[in-house]
Amino acid sequence: MALMTGEQYIESIRKLKMEVYMFGERVENPVDDPILRPSLNSVRMTYDLAQDPQYAELMTVISPYTGEKINRFAHIHQNTEDLKNKVKMQRLCGQKTAACFQRCVGMDAFNAVFSTTFEIDKKYGTKYHENFKKFMNYCADKDLTVDGAMTDPKGDRSKAPHAQEDPDLYLRVVETREDGIVVRGAKAHQTGIINSHEVIVMPTISMGPDDKEFAVSFAVPVDSEGILMIIGRQSCDTRKQEGSELDVGNSEFGGVEALVIFDDVFVPNERIFMNGETEFSGIMVERFAGYHRQSYGGCKVGVGDVLIGAAAVAADYNGAAKASAVKDKLIEMTHLNETLYCCGIACSTEGYPTESGAYMIDLLLANVCKQNVTRFPYEIVRLAEDIAGGLMVTAPSEKDLRDEKIGKYVDKYFRGVADVSTENRLRILRLIENLALGTAAVGYRTESMHGAGSPQAQRIMIARQGNLGFKKELAKSIAKIKE
């Protein structure tokens, strides 16, 4: 099957019968809802770019399993060049949307599950890897968007899954049938779930022998019976209902998250990728987290490019572009953004093959990448707000600008340099507001902190991967210490 166009993708999502809730009511038409549509447009861009000859080499690849051209978001990395191209593709998508384009999580789940199922089968003689390859090729052939679901609500963080007072706080198997399993629980903060065709579920932490029912991985269509989604609020989200393109800041693109409930959902045997193999739960989590932390060296950098550009435009419109302090702030923003990109490329360049043949990134460098992402975007945002000025958060609405009586005052008193319209000045400030504080902040600033694991998760991995013992021996050797 040929790659879908952006419009074909939109219509394919329209055909799904998802159970979506927002503001206490069921959303009967998520595709055309003004709050939700921008997030769908962001995913659409991954299809549009794949159709553009200018970006075909970056956005598409020949599948080593079918020989057909597929979207890179459905690809299993075959070498370090694939790993680097992934980061470059993510930067491009971030530049084109200035938002979360949502397909990264499915791509990272693909690669984590691929290598882990291979190793489970090798140890236990199961058929999970064959199950997954069939699912993977099905998704690639039909050019489907797949969400990756890892984060459980977790309940009492001091207790293991089996020790929770309410066992449903970790998704689990509640019934085993001849033809499959039934699962119950939830996955939280699920980026792009309402814009996906399928969802891959993975365990969320390393598990022990008592947690067998929670060590489960599988895939099901997002409109399967028993799945419902509750949309998370975002700052300024209802501005999208007001009909003002200007006030939204980024009116076409955005991101969306949801709490996804699995209320006794049936999973057929051929869609199961792990079922009780607890010793592999941590491996799958570690690999997914590693790939996803690599991803942030691309997607956040692309959005950062837009924010840096917006800050520079704001400086132009304010008449401050020649000030040395402003120039220095833009240099610092660029330095921080490119440092993030360097980490994404570095962990890709140092990648290595797993037993399955799929390539894994350097885990230490991937965690360093994400640790920097928990810090640098906050400073980039701070500097952008500094350059933009207070009008970014005190400007009146577009309706005031257009009003017959008061519009002339808004136009007169909020003009910057004389040859730039007040409207254009307000537009660039609203874009900065959106990226720094509004709905896009969920996909840039705040998500930079908690996406793919919050900072301590990376620090644990950095400690584990940092090889401190080796470094001690280096120092003792140089110091000629004999013990």
Q: Is 116 a catalytic residue?
A: no
Considering 9, 60, 77, 100, which one is annotated as catalytic? 100
Question: Are residue 291 and residue 213 in the same domain, yes or no?
Answer: no
Edge-first strand order for the sheet with 198-201 is 146-149, 198-201, 216-221, 272-275
292 carries an active-site annotation = yes
Q: Are residues 252 and 127 in the same domain?
A: yes
Please, are residues 229 and 261 in contact by the beta-carbon 8 Å criterion? yes
Query: Of 277, 299, 320, which residue sits at a domain end?
Result: 277
* 20: Cα within 13 Å, side-chain hemisphere: 28
CB 323 within 8 A of CB 310: no
Q: Which member of 128, 170, 296, 359 is catalytic?
A: 296
Options 119, 213, 257, 398, the catalytic residue: 257
For residue 226, the enclosing domain spans: 6-277
Give the C-alpha distances (Å, rounded to integers) separating 245 from 94, 234, 388: 20, 17, 20
- 422: domain CATH number is 1.20.140.10
User: Where among 277, 292, 314 does a domain terminate?
Assistant: 277
**The model scores a pTM over 0.85:** yes
Does residue 436 belong to any structural domain of this protein? yes
Same domain, 225 and 369: no
pLDDT score recorded for residue 442: 81
Known catalytic membership, residue 299: yes
Catalytic residue among 46, 151, 191, 278: 191
Based on the domain organization, do 270 and 289 belong to the same domain? no
**One domain, residues 172 and 121:** yes
Q: Is 27 within the bounds of a domain?
A: yes
Does 128 lie in the same domain as 148? yes
191 is catalytic: yes
Report the CATH number that the domain containing residue 240 is assigned in CATH.
2.40.110.10
Instruction: Quote the CA–CA distance of 39 and 35 in Å, as a whole number.
Output: 8
Same domain, 291 and 426: yes
The pLDDT value recorded for residue 446 is 84
Which residues lie across from 266 on neighbouring strands?
Answer: 182
Residue 146's φ and ψ, nearest 5 degrees, are: -120, 130
| Residue where a domain stops, chosen among 244, 277, 310 | 277
Residues paired with 261 in a beta bridge = 186, 228
Same domain? For 338 and 257 the reply is: no
Q: What is the pLDDT of residue 443?
A: 80
Task: Quickly list DSSP for 72-141.
Answer: GGGPPP-SHHHHHHHHHHHHHHHHHHSS----HHHHHHHHHHHHHHHHHHHHH---HHHHHHHHHHHHHH
Are residues 85 and 136 located together in one domain of the fold?
A: yes
Alpha carbon distance 33, 268 (integer Å): 32
Per the domain annotation, does 342 fall within a domain? yes
Are residues 273 and 288 located together in one domain of the fold?
A: no
What is the total count of domains within the chain?
Answer: 2
Catalytic residue among 129, 139, 277, 299: 299
From first to last of its 483 residues, the chain has per-residue pLDDT tens of 689 999 999 999 999 999 999 999 999 999 999 999 999 999 999 999 999 999 999 999 999 999 999 999 999 999 999 999 999 999 999 999 999 999 999 999 999 999 999 999 999 999 999 999 999 999 999 999 999 999 999 999 999 999 999 999 999 999 999 999 999 999 999 999 999 999 999 999 999 999 999 999 999 999 999 999 999 999 999 999 999 999 999 999 999 999 999 999 999 999 999 999 999 999 999 999 999 999 999 999 999 999 999 999 999 999 999 999 999 999 999 999 999 999 999 999 999 999 999 999 999 999 999 999 999 999 999 999 999 999 999 999 999 999 999 999 999 999 999 999 999 999 999 999 999 998 877 889 888 999 999 899 999 999 999 999 999 999 999 999 999
Q: For residues 26 and 13, what is the distance between their CA atoms, to the nearest angstrom?
A: 17
Note whether 19 and 155 are within 8 A (CB). Answer: no
39 and 176 assigned to the same domain: yes
Q: Which listed residue (47, 277, 292, 398) is catalytic?
A: 292
Which of 104, 139, 343, 347 is labelled catalytic? 104
Q: For residue 424, tell me if it sits in a domain.
A: yes
CB count in 10 Å sphere of residue 355: 9
178 is catalytic: no
- Please indicate whether residue 296 is annotated as part of the active site: yes
Residue 323 lies in a domain: yes
Please indicate, yes or no, whether residues 131 and 218 belong to a single structural domain of this protein.
Answer: yes
Whether residue 478 lies inside any domain: the answer is no
Looking at residue 17, its pLDDT comes to 97
Instruction: Tell me, yes or no, whether 162 lies in a domain.
Output: yes
